[in-house]
Amino acid sequence: MSSEVKPPRADARRNREALLVAAADVFAEHGVGASLEEVARRAGVGVGTLYRHFEQRDALVEAVYRRELERVVDAVPELLDGRVGMAALRAWSERFLGYVAAKRGMGEALRAIMDCAPELRSTVLPRLEQAVEELVAHGIEDGSIRTDARADDVLRAMIGVFHLPQADGWEAQARRILDLLLDGLEPR
């Protein structure tokens, strides 16, 4: 008997992706306590299919978080294509803000998962750091970002937006804070 692990079938991969897309939408609308039956319905699969892919709600929340974050991080090359560094960083910060805004309902669950799954934190933060490092380095090189800018400082300031109290006007305040941060990165 072979000990090789076979890759999932194409229909299983499609179902998993459909579940992640549906869960991201449902969680954004109703928080992570939303009905998993609703997630399955929107994905066009049965609840049994959902549980075959994600045995626990936390596993689904973590998978949605990883998928959405990877989409933000993976956008860096596209954003750098033909743009100066500051313009690319501004465009990326807009995507990051959109990501954070969509995940506000997931905040409490994500914090709990991060506490229980240190490997998630150890894989997520380096990917974010790498993305911001690439954007800042590009901007320093082309002169659109000041030479003393540090990517780790920029990222930590952006992550601070996630910790703003959830209230009316949160997104407008977050945009103002990001504008202040990015304006401060421009050369004097």
Q: Do residues 43 and 21 make contact, with C-beta atoms less than 8 angstroms apart?
A: yes
Same structural domain, 34 and 73: no
For residue 7, pLDDT over 80 is answered with no
- Whichever domain contains 31, its CATH number is 1.10.10.60
Same structural domain, 31 and 123: no
Transcribe 31-86 into DSSP letters.
Answer: -TTS-HHHHHHHHTS-HHHHHHH-SSHHHHHHHHHHHHHHHHHTTHHHHHTTS-HH
Place 102 in a pLDDT band, splitting at 50, 70 and 90.
low
Same structural domain, 73 and 139: yes
Q: Do residues 40 and 47 make contact, with C-beta atoms less than 8 angstroms apart?
A: yes
- HSE-CB of 62 using CA atoms within 13 angstroms: 19
Same structural domain, 168 and 123: yes
pLDDT of residue 108: 55
Average pLDDT, the chain: 85
Structural domain containing residue 120: 65-185
Residue at token pair 């229909």: 11
Same structural domain, 71 and 34: no
Same structural domain, 51 and 72: no
Q: Which amino acid is at 29?
A: E
- Residue 109, number of CB atoms within 10 A of its CB: 21
pLDDT of residue 72: 87
Q: What is the mean pLDDT of residues 4-29?
A: 84
Burial zone of 75 (CB within 10 Å; 0-12 exposed, 13-18 middle, 19+ buried)? middle
Place 64 in a pLDDT band, splitting at 50, 70 and 90.
confident
Whole-structure pTM value: 0.78
Place 96 in a pLDDT band, splitting at 50, 70 and 90.
confident
With CA atoms as reference, report the closest residue to 96 among 71, 62, 126, 66.
71
Q: pLDDT tens, 123-178?
A: 777 888 999 999 999 999 999 999 999 999 999 898 887 677 777 888 888 889 99
C-alpha–C-alpha distance, residues 120 and 131, integer Å: 17
Pick from 31-35, 105-109, 114-118, 179-183: least confident: 105-109
